[in-house]
A = this chain, B = another copy of it.
Amino acid sequence: MAIKYELIKEDKQTGARLGRVTTPHGSFETPVFMPVGTLATVKTMSPEELKEMGANIILSNTYHLWLRPGEDIIKEAGGLHSFMNWDGSILTDSGGFQVFSLSDMRDITEEGVHFRNHLSGEKLFLSPEKAMEIQNALGSDIMMAFDECPPYPAEYDYMKASVERTSRWAEKCLRAHKRPDEQGLFGIVQGGEYEDLRRQSAKDLVSLDLPGYAIGGLSVGEPKHVMNEVLSYTAPLLPKNKPRYLMGVGSPDSLIDGVIRGVDMFDCVLPTRIARNGTCMTSNGRLVVRNAKFARDFSPIDEHCDCYTCRNYSRAYIRHLVKTNETFGFRLTTYHNLYFLVKLMGQVRQAIKDDCLGDFREQFFEQYGFNKPNAKNF
C-alpha cells in the first residue's frame, strides 16, 4: 500500500485527530494544509520556499496538467516530482471538479464526461479510466477518484443518481489504477447535504478499502453551518485508520472547525489567490495591504508572525510592490499567507497533543475576530 496512516492521538476536548501520513515521498503529521500548485508550481513560490515554511505535501491539478503541458511530457520528465523539482509528497485531484466548474457544454454519461476545453474550445472526454491514466502518468503520491461534484443546492433525486454513479466510477478507477504500490487512490464521498446519501456514498467507497477518503461537495456555496453539520455526520462514517481529506477548504475558521470534526487534510487556493490581490491573513484578522492607510506603515504584515516576509519587510514596502504590480510583492504576500496556514496547522496539532483544541479555537476565533457579528471572513 502506497499510503500509510497512523492515528497518534485524539484531542480530549474535541476528538480531533493527530496522525501521520507516509507516502513514497516522505511523511507528514496531520492535520495538514496542502498548498495548491495547479500548473506544477505553487504560484510565485519556489520548492525551497515551500520546504522552508514547513510544507511537506502540495496539491496539483490533473485537469490543468492534462491540458498544459500534457501528462505525456510530465511522464517523459520522470513524473511530476522530477518535472517540478519537488521531492515532497504530491496529491493530484481527478480533474472532475474542473470539468464541472470550468468547462462549458458538458454532457455526463455513464462512461464519463464530454466537455469543451476551457482554453481552446476543443472537445474532450474525461472518464474514470482516463483520470487514472493521467494521474498514473503524473506519478502523484495520492490520486483522487473521478467523481461528479454537483452544484449546491442540488435536488435529492439528482444527487442520489450522482452519488451512485460516483460509486460506480470509483470502482472503475480502482480497476484502472495501474500503480497501486507507488500511488494511493482516495475515494470521494459525495451526497450534498443529504445525510442518507452521504451515508450511502461512504458505505460504497469504504467497501473498496481505499487507502484514504475525501469529503467532496463542500465549500461550494453552502452556508458554513451546513458544511459543519455535514462534516459532523460524514467524518464518523469513514475508517479511523485512514486519512480524511476535506477538499477545497482553506479559511482559518473552517480549517479548525474541520479538524474538530475529524478531518486530517485540507487544500485550498484561498491563501495564494488572496495574496495575489494584496490580502493577507494575520493573527488579528485579514489585512488588505494595498489600502492607503498602510502607505507609511513600517510595521510587518503581522507582528506575531516570524515568517520571511514579516521578519524583513514592512507593510509600506509590500503595499508599494502590490500597487505597482511587482512580482516580488506577490511572492511576499503568498509566502506569508501559506506560512500562516502551515503554522496554524502546527498550532492545531500542538493543541491536540495538549488536549486543548477547544480552548485554542476560542482564543483564535476571538483574536481573529471570527466571533464578532458580521466578521469579515475570506
Give me the interface of A with B, judged by CB distance under 8 Å. 39-41, 43-46, 68-69, 73, 76-77, 83-85, 295-296, 298, 312-314, 316-317, 319-321, 323-324, 326-331
Contacts and interface: CB of A to CB of B under 8 A. Distances in A.
What's the number of copies of this chain in the assembled complex?
A: 2
A77 B314 CA distance: 9
A313 B46 contact: no
B41 A316 contact: no
B45 A328 contact: yes
B43 A298 contact: no
B312 A85 contact: yes
28 contacts: A39-B320, A39-B321, A39-B326, A40-B320, A40-B321, A41-B321, A41-B326, A41-B328, A43-B327, A44-B327, A44-B328, A44-B331, A45-B328, A46-B328, A46-B331, A69-B319, A69-B320, A69-B323, A73-B295, A73-B320, A76-B296, A77-B298, A77-B314, A77-B317, A84-B317, A85-B313, A85-B317, A327-B330
Contacts of A329: 41
A41 B317 CA distance: 10
A320 B68 contact: yes
A131 to B, nearest CB: 21
Contacts of A330: 327
Contacts of A46: 328, 331
B39 A317 contact: no
A40 B327 CA distance: 12
A333 to B, nearest CB: 12
A183 to B, nearest CB: 21
B39 A77 contact: no
Contacts of A298: 76-77
B85 A43 contact: no
Contacts of A314: 77, 83
Nearest to A276: B327
A207 B349 CA distance: 70
A72 to B, nearest CB: 9
A139 B265 CA distance: 49
Given A41-B321, A77-B298, A69 B316 contact: yes
A204 B323 CA distance: 42
A45 to B, nearest CB: 7
Contacts of A44: 327-328, 331
A103 to B, nearest CB: 18
A68 B328 contact: no
A314 B69 CA distance: 13
Contacts of A321: 39-41
A296 B39 contact: no
Contacts of A324: 39, 68
A98 to B, nearest CB: 15
Nearest to A335: B46
A73 B324 CA distance: 15
A326 B323 CA distance: 19
